[in-house]
Structure 1
Amino acid sequence: MTSTQPTTRSQPTERACPFNPPEEYRTIREEAPVTPATFPDGVKGWMVTRYEDVRAMLADPRFGSNRRQLRPGDPAPADEPLPPPPPGFFIMMDAPEHTRFRRMLTGQFTVRRMQKLVPVVEQIVAERLAEMASAEGPVDLVQSYALPIPSLVICELLGVPYEDREDFQRDSAQMLRLDASREEVQQANQAMSRYIRKLAVAKRAHPTDDILGGLAQSGVLTDDELGGVGALLLLAGHETTANMIALGTMCLLNNPDQLAALRADPELMDNAVEELLRYLTIIQFGLRRTALEDVELGGRRIEAGSVVVAALPSGNRDATHFSGDPETLDVHRPYSPHLAFGHGVHQCIGQQLARVEMKAALSALIERFPTLRLAVPADQVPMRDDMLIYGVHKLPVTW
């Protein structure tokens, strides 16, 4: 175990390129891969930047998931206990509570079940492309394509009326804003949970063949837990994939040699999806945990109660794990497990669905519009630096 204490660093936030994490991560990985850090919200703790250390941390039950949030003024003082997570928000729970929720949902998102969804996703994609093609002039790819696809799919899976999208998309965005106050986030969270809870109660009386209906009929969750689980799935089910589709499209347009390779060989798309997930890593500030006891990680002693951040964007650029130059986008790169979906018992439950949606959306888009291009200079595209989930706010394109 290393006895000398390294210099406390600030978690990097400034990007020199919209597709790359902050350049300081490379230096930190080399000099002090597990280092004391101050995070954007002012909390002090430890930052883990190397691939193997990130995996080890996320797989270690001694790092708890009831974590502090990434917003100024949100965290409680270090000597005060953390508040309990909202009912049903199992990503903020540890075993056995987390295990109870996870077991109920795992069977809903298996590879086999997601593959059965392919025709449904492809039909939604085709409809959105047809509507885009009928438009005159540039369109915003986010609102016309990237956001509707996963929103329609998760609504279909959960049993949520798509016509209510304006409300739940607004609340989702509010929950992810870095400048939102604790009260604003709580209000948005409560609004989504109330909305889902009302739907679930109705499904108890009138059963439906969807995830929310099944959970409601199981009788093992309270109304509040149903609201929380459903709100969490609805939020994660459209926000993350929508941003990967839009940002992935912009990234391919910025790398015309990689886009040309995909057009020449569509069979590369599975590999390209994994490479885009690795390369872009839209969980831009990483995942937070709390040390439940004293733990040694990467040669450093982390005391019980310390906040620890797994810097996913840094781990996914670690040259000791990924072949070739991980700082470049390479759709031919041999697959190696990445960290875009996290790792361990909290690894994203909807990752197979995200893969299905990304493959269908990106494949069809580049086939339908062979001359697709940005309608504005790249430096005029508004990036989501102000959100927990990175991406673009708008993406004007033409063809």
Structure 2
Amino acid sequence: MDQLQAYVLDVDGTDIQAEGARLREGGSAVVVELPGGVRAWAVGHAGTLKSLLTDSRVSKDPRQHWAAWKEDRIAADWPLRLWVSVQNMFTAYGSDHRRLRSLVASGFTAKRTMELKPWVERITATLLDEVASLGRANGVVDLRGAFAYQLPVEVICRLFGVDDSQRAGLRKVVDTVFDTTTTPEAAQANAEDMYRILTGLAEQKRAQPGDDVTSAIIQADSVRFGRLTDAEVVDTLILMLTAGHETTVNLLDQAMTAMLTHPEQLALVRSGERPWSDVVEETLRWQAPVAYLPLRYAVTDIDLGDVVIPEGDAILAAYAAAGRDEAEYGETAGEFDITRGVKQHLAFGHGIHHCLGAPLARLEATTALRMLFERFPELAFAQPSTRLVPMSSFLSNGHAELPVRLGRDASL
């Protein structure tokens, strides 16, 4: 890989979909350069990526299978280091992954998720009241900052049992994790802050357990797998926090944008012809909330036909590119269409690493979208949608802000 010319990824995420198209044109896998000069094979074809996500020759454990990591060639202040250095089910392989996922899943059950529905509805209603107040005061509301950003953090903080006093700190550290333009020094300091906050939370819940996921993970035990170590508990909280917040923010952001720019499809949902779940699934395909997800590693040489990924090389899942793959979704893959009937996508991963929090993300999104558009039937962008600015990140696929005018409030 070192001898091959690398495509340098745009860390600002200026045009993630155009970049994804170029990657697909490059073949089954393309050598790309990440921040810090680190190289990986980006995979942007849906079929190839789906196959690799279930291939036992692909690992997520850098300590075992990433040559650059084992040879200490990855700098301590590498901006993406936290993505691979944590030791939880996200970075585990084989039996270690089965152990960690089994213990975490015991605290994140389908029953617990469904029990959250009334809770999510109450949080959404409260946030919409605040949005309405902002609209009356200012005329224009940033729907990402005031609504899409607020809902997931409220849900996950209540899920974790986080005190109000800790929430601002958690929001800050998650924002910085996804900001791929941050300096190495700031990224390293942010990682330290994240560990400090979540270590404190874990210590608090050991001393005073509650009816929350943090306590459930700490107490999880099994005859086969035992319990999580203290370090694994904290790293698991990091995984759930980062996976459960920013991704849902972007899902809401992109779904609201899609509805406001496709009024004919919004009309289909409002008429009852199509459910909100169709909007959510098509959004996940069309604009994957996480454009790229670091990292996986070749356990042995992997022959993809046109290229061979050598043993020990890193692999970057290009989810945004895969969602627009015409070979998988047809000639209209680049268009948003809730009637296309295709429900399968890779936005939540695939195989043994499929996101445990996917049902919660879907619950949040369908609830939030339904209640938002019911309350504000005249909701519209306050400026042409062509002026929306993408976030400064090649990982996080959303907008810097979503300025809207609320129009009539149907609750009055």
Q: Could you say which TM-score interval applies, normalised by the shorter chain?
A: 0.7 to 0.9
Opposite residue 335 of structure 2, the aligned amino acid is T
Q: Give the deviation of 1:149 after TM superposition.
A: 1.1
* Of 173-182 and 76-85, the range deviating more from structure 2: 76-85
Q: How many residues align?
A: 386
Higher mean displacement: 335-344 or 282-291: 282-291
Deviations 1:321-377, CA, capped at 9 Å, x for gaps: 225611110111213310111112222121111000000011111111111111233
1:72 is matched with none
Offset, 1:25: 3.8
- What is the percentage of aligned positions where both structures have the same residue? 31
Summarize deviations over 1:143-176 as a string: whole Å, max 9, x none: 2211121111111211112442211111111122
Question: Are 2:280 and 1:285 aligned?
Answer: no
Cα 1:178–1:294, aligned 2, differ >3 Å: closer, same or farther?
same
Q: Which residue of 2 aligns with 1:381?
A: 388
Structure 1 unaligned segments of length 5 or more: list them. Answer: 1-5, 69-74
Counterpart CA distance in 1 for 2:204 and 2:29 is: 49
Counterpart-to-counterpart distance in 1, 2:349 and 2:296: 12
Match of 1:296 among 297, 303, 328: 303
Structure 1 residues 353, 60: CA separation in 2 closer, same or farther (over 3 Å shift)? same
**Alignment CA distance shift 1:120-1:13 (3 Å):** same
2:362 is matched with 355
Secondary structure of 2:37 counterpart: coil
1:93 alignment partner in structure 2: 92
Aligned counterpart for 2:162 among listed residues 160, 163, 172: 160
Q: Residue 397 of structure 1: SS of its match in structure 2?
A: strand
- 1:58 paired residue among 42, 53, 57: 53
Q: Deviations over 1:7-51 (max 9, x none)?
A: 845166499996x711x5446535623344444553334232221
Q: Structure 1 residue 44 and structure 2 residue 47: aligned?
A: no
SS in 1 for 2:335: coil
1:270-310 deviations in whole A, cap 9, x for unaligned? 11110001100122234431212112224432211122222
Aligned 8 A contact 1:64 1:291 in 2: yes
Moved more, 214-223 or 342-351: 214-223
Secondary structure at the counterpart of residue 289 of structure 1: strand
In structure 1, C-alpha distance between the alignment counterparts of 2:71 and 2:231, rounded to whole Å = 29
Cα gap change, 1:30 to 1:119, in 2 (>3 Å): same
* Structure 2 residue matching 1:308: 3-state secondary structure: strand
- Which residue number corresponds to residue 307 of structure 1? 314
Q: Residue type matched to 1:49 in 2?
A: G
CA distance in 2, matches of 1:199, 1:7: 45
Q: Is 1:276 aligned to 2:279, yes or no?
A: no
**Matched residue type, 1:21:** Q
Q: Normalized against structure 2, the TM-score is what? A: 0.84
> Could you say which residue in structure 1 is the equivalent of 2:237?
230
Structure 1 counterpart of 2:403, from 383, 386, 396? 396
Partner SS, residue 106 of structure 2: helix
How is 1:115-264 mapped onto 2 (pairs within 5 angstroms)? 115-135=114-134, 136=136, 137-218=139-220, 220-264=227-271
1:292 touches 1:304 (CA, 8 Å); kept in 2?
yes
Superposed CA RMSD: 2.9
